[in-house]
Amino acid sequence: MDLTQRLENVAIVGAAGKMGSGIALLLVNELARLKLSPEGEGKTYSLTLIDVNHTVLEGLMSYLRTQLKKAGEKKVAWLREVYQARTDLVENGDIIDEFVMDALTQLRPATTLSAAAGATLVFEAVNENEDLKVKLLSEVRKVAHPDAWYLTNTSSIPISVLGKRLEIPSRIVGYHFYNPPAVQKLIEYITTDETDPGLKAAGEELCHRLGKKIFHSADVAGFIGNGHFMRDGLHAIAAMEALRKGGDHAPAIYKVNRVSQDWLIRPMGIFQLIDYVGVDVFKFILEVMDRYLPGQGLHSAFIDTLFEKGILGGQKHDGSQKDGILGYTKGRPSAVYDLARGEYVPFDHEGWCKTCDEELGPLPDGYRGWKTLVRAPDRKAYLERHFEAVVRGETQGARLAAEYLKASKAIGEKLVADGGAASAEDVNGVLMNGFFHLYGPINDYV
């Protein structure tokens, strides 16, 4: 069975979640493309969308309908060709509606795992909980095609562990989409020594068909992306603790967040990123990594305490940011949760924030932030000048940034040295594509 044949019966478990819904959108577009192509003539393609209840599945279907309409609008010229024999479809609107209908008829929303009967390709995107993943996929195995391939979106659990527990070591791979899957270009691909060569190749082909860039990671808990991000976050927390010296959290969090965004020229500060991912998710991933990589200090009392207090970050249903380590107004940081005081402290740019900014000192001359640099043709030269000034700088901001750069580089180098990543290019590629960093952590700046 080749990939196209396997795409005739696909199932997603956890389809209505953040990642599952994006994966569903990517796949339904690919299945619709196949169905409407000459190679799909006379074939049927089915995508079973499994989640816990009808309410979440209804939300998913409505999301997919809206997104398919947008996709149809973008490829209306191709759709005109596809439907050229259909004289009843005249206006662009008619053609797009027909495409949406054609795509939607391939979908089978379901609340029971038995709906995955006969599936030849199974995507898994349920919560980051090893026992849950094993329990659900064991049930799916009973009904899926005996030779089905499994692609898990786990962020941290070693694939060989899942393969062993599920007794499918050759038929499961890590297919780690980034959030949101429909937009993010990166797939971190984790195969093992036991992976079926057919599956290995099909995973690469699918990645290409979905318009994604693939980066291979070794089968090490956390893989490359979270392997770096978690340790980077732990460095930030340690830097914050060193700054506050047992005092208030707010100024220290504010400073480290600013340094990691402004001095390091990243799209957002580290504490904002942890909130975006979710303090709870950050904690769960750390726990998995600590279990499989013991003795590396992969835990944080700060994160555990926030979790206990219900300070979780993450997103609301409408996609807006929930309060976490930082508080948000209209999606922008506007306060800091001060653990020592047990409350959010609003930013005060004429008061304590101003004091923090003065203590950090000015940014290097002619400073340009991430947004202005992301498409700048002279980005490389600018970054070299910027980091030269940072490393030479004597302000608190420059010192914290230089320490941060060094820590981030050491994390990347250790990933390569320990065999988690095959090369510095892979580490840099994942960070630049998955986290939108403008430069890789393994660089010559420090």
Ligand X SMILES: NC(=O)c1ccc[n+]([C@@H]2O[C@H](COP(=O)([O-])OP(=O)(O)OC[C@H]3O[C@@H](n4cnc5c(N)ncnc54)[C@H](O)[C@@H]3O)[C@@H](O)[C@H]2O)c1
CB of 434 to ligand X, least distance (A): 9
Least Å distance between CB 176 and ligand X?
6
Q: Are 120 and 5 spatial neighbours (Cβ–Cβ below 8 Å)?
A: yes
225 half-sphere exposure, CB direction, 13 A CA radius? 29
Q: Closest separation between CB of residue 9 and ligand X, Å? A: 18
CB atoms within 10 A of CB 157: 25
> Tokens for 308?
């206990």
Distance of CA 220 to the CA centre of its chain: 17
- Candidates 177, 235, 163; CA nearest to 211 is 177
Asked whether position 58 contacts ligand X by CB under 6 A, the answer is no
408 and 266 Cβ atoms separated by less than 8 Å: no
CA distances from 166 to 62, 128, 141, 421 (A): 33, 16, 8, 25
Cross-strand bridge partners of residue 46: 9
Amino acid found at 233: G
Is the Cβ–Cβ distance between 257 and 327 less than 8 Å? no
Cα–Cα distance measured from residue 62 to residue 23, given in angstroms and rounded to the nearest whole number = 15
**In a 3-state reduction of DSSP, which class is residue 343?**
strand
* Binding flag, residue 433, ligand X (CB under 6 A): no
Binding mask 127-166 for ligand X (x = CB under 6 A): xx-------x----------------xxx-----------
Note whether 188 binds ligand X by CB under 6 A: no
What is the sign of the dihedral through the CA atoms of 375, 373, 188 and 443?
positive
Q: Which of the stretches 16-24, 92-100, 317-325, 414-422 binds ligand X when contact is defined by CB under 6 A?
A: 16-24
Q: Of the two residues 95 and 288, which places its CB atom closer to ligand X in the complex? A: 288
Question: Are 10 and 47 in contact, with CB atoms under 8 Å apart?
Answer: yes
Structural contact between residues 400 and 256, judged by C-beta atoms closer than 8 angstroms: yes
Q: Which is nearer to ligand X, 20 or 158 (CB)?
A: 20
Residues in contact with ligand X, counted by CB under 6 A, come to a total of 23
Does residue 259 bind ligand X (CB under 6 A)?
no
Closest separation in Å from C-beta 287 to ligand X: 12
Q: How far is the CB of 136 from ligand X (least distance, A)?
A: 5
**Which part of the chain contacts ligand X (CB under 6 A), choosing from 124-132, 192-200, 239-247, 293-301?**
124-132
DSSP H or E segment with residue 49 = strand 46-50
Asked if 119 interacts with ligand X (CB under 6 A), we say: no
Answer for which of 13, 199, 202, 335 binds ligand X (CB under 6 A) is 13
Q: Is 217 in the site for ligand X (CB under 6 A)?
A: no
Tell me if 48 contacts ligand X by CB under 6 A. no
- Closest approach, Cβ 68 to ligand X, in A, equals 20
Q: How far is the CB of 374 from ligand X (least distance, A)?
A: 21
Q: Which residue number, 51 or 275, has a Cβ lying nearer to ligand X?
A: 51
Residue 65 parent element (H or E): helix 54-74
Among 3, 12, 17, 256, binds ligand X (CB under 6 A): 17
- The upper half-sphere exposure of residue 284, i.e. CA atoms within 13 Å in the direction of its Cβ, equals 15
How many angstroms separate the CA atoms of 28 and 32, rounded? 6
Q: Which one of residues 61, 64, 95, 126 is an interface residue with ligand X (CB under 6 A)? A: 126
Site string for ligand X, 383-422 (x = CB under 6 A): ----------------------------------------
Helix residue spans in 210-264 (DSSP H): 225-244, 250-258
Stretch that binds ligand X, among 17-25, 30-38, 250-258, 425-433 (CB under 6 A): 17-25
Q: Which of 179, 200, 198 is nearest to 190 (CA)?
A: 200
16 binds ligand X (CB under 6 A): yes
CB of 127 to ligand X, least distance (A): 5
Closest CB 134 distance from ligand X, rounded Å = 12
**Contacts with ligand X, residue ranges (CB under 6 A):** 13-14, 16-20, 50-52, 56, 125-128, 136, 153-155, 176, 178-179, 277
